[in-house]
Amino acid sequence: MNEHTAPSNGPRDGDVATWDNGALIRVRDLTRVYHQGTLEVHALRGVNLDVGEGEFTALSGPSGSGKTTLLNIIGVLDHPTSGSVKVDGVDVSTMNRGEAADFRLATAGFIFQAYNLVPVLTAYENAEFTLMLKGVSRSERRDRVVPLLERVGLAGMMDRKPHELSGGQQQRVAIVRALATEPKIILADEPTANLDSETSAELLDLMLELNRDLNTTFLFSTHDPVVIERARRVLKLLDGRVADSVGQAA
């Protein structure tokens, strides 16, 4: 069973490594309907999903299947029409705008398809941006960010602005920015969509390494085979529902 119709105790088929008492992300009966004029677009049609701590999971599926919508709702960038989402035990589906921003800062890191670095900040400043929002001291920011930038191979490029970096380098900065606050989850929306396959593989290996070392939970949306083949678990979305689950959770 790939899609839950009712919560139950203990591990379930389809969501192999999820537990009612142990899931970091718990999604129940999630729907999202958009209104385009008089037209209703059902982006999610009752998704149930559990993701455990330390998972490296990919959401795959064709365009329009609801991958990004699901990630947005888990990351509180969007609100569901119905259903609930709990992250680390906190119901995020009813948060207001300010609470959502605080939640994202404290709990989630984002990696976007288009890198989305702040164009006027250097690589180092972009990487430390979220730490600064959290009020971390300058010296501690440096202590956390510099080793991460070195680890992703950007030691000599810290003072470069985004337009002076390649796509792969910008995405590495985005990864460091996402990791710098040591979030519980990293939500990555098609992080390799704009990269060549070699760079994609390199970045995925890096993220896998960080996932192993830091036990950070990664949840991707993708249709990139490079990502799918490295994911430990792949959830396939189709027409706003979880259609299939392959692999095993951590």
Partner 1 sequence: MTWRMAWRNLWRHRTRTLIMTSAVAFSYALFLVSMGMGDNGHAQMLEAAAEGAGGDVLVHADGYWDNRSSDLVIRNAQTVLNAVESAAGVEVAIPRVLVNGLVSSAAGNRPVMLQGIVPEREIALQDYAEDLEAGEFLTESTRDDPLILGATIVEKLKLELGDRVVLTASDPEGEVTRALFHLTGIVETGLPETDEGLALTTLDAAQTAVAMDGMLTQIGVIVADGATPDSVAAAIHAAADVQGNGLEVMTWREAIPEMVAFIEIDDAFLYIYIVVIFAVVAFAIANTFLMAVMERVREFGLLNALGLRGGGVARLLLAETVLMTLLALAVGFTLGYSGHLAMDHWGIPVGGWGVEDMEISGANFADLVMRSTVNPGKWIMATLAVALITIGSALYPAYKASSLAPSEAMRFYE
Q: Where do contacts with partner 1 occur on this chain (CB under 8 A)?
A: 34, 43, 63-69, 72, 75, 77-78, 97-98, 101-102, 104-106, 110, 112, 116, 118-121, 125, 129-130, 132-134, 177, 189
Tell me the closest approach of the beta carbon of residue 8 to partner 1, in angstroms: 30
H or E element in which residue 167 lies: helix 167-180
Specify the residue, 14 or 75, whose C-beta has the smaller distance to partner 1: 75
Tell me the closest approach of the beta carbon of residue 64 to partner 1, in angstroms: 5
Using alpha carbons, select from 232, 236, 211 the residue that is nearest to residue 223: 236
Residue 200 CA to residue 191 CA, distance in Å, equals 8
Check if the beta carbon of residue 12 is closer than 8 Å to that of residue 4. yes
Specify the residue, 52 or 61, whose C-beta has the smaller distance to partner 1: 61
φ, ψ for residue 9, nearest 5 deg: -85, 150
Specify the residue, 34 or 94, whose C-beta has the smaller distance to partner 1: 34
Strand-pairing partners, residue 188, are 111, 220
Tell me the closest approach of the beta carbon of residue 116 to partner 1, in angstroms: 5
**CB atoms near residue 137 (< 10 Å):** 10
Specify the residue, 78 or 88, whose C-beta has the smaller distance to partner 1: 78
Tell me the closest approach of the beta carbon of residue 12 to partner 1, in angstroms: 27
Specify the residue, 54 or 240, whose C-beta has the smaller distance to partner 1: 240
Residue 220 CA to residue 233 CA, distance in Å, equals 10
Specify the residue, 101 or 155, whose C-beta has the smaller distance to partner 1: 101
Tell me the closest approach of the beta carbon of residue 92 to partner 1, in angstroms: 13
Tell me the closest approach of the beta carbon of residue 101 to partner 1, in angstroms: 5
Query: What is the per-residue DSSP string for 82-139?
Result: EEEEEETTEE-TT--HHHHHHHHHHHEEEE-TT----TTS-HHHHHHHHHHHTT--HH
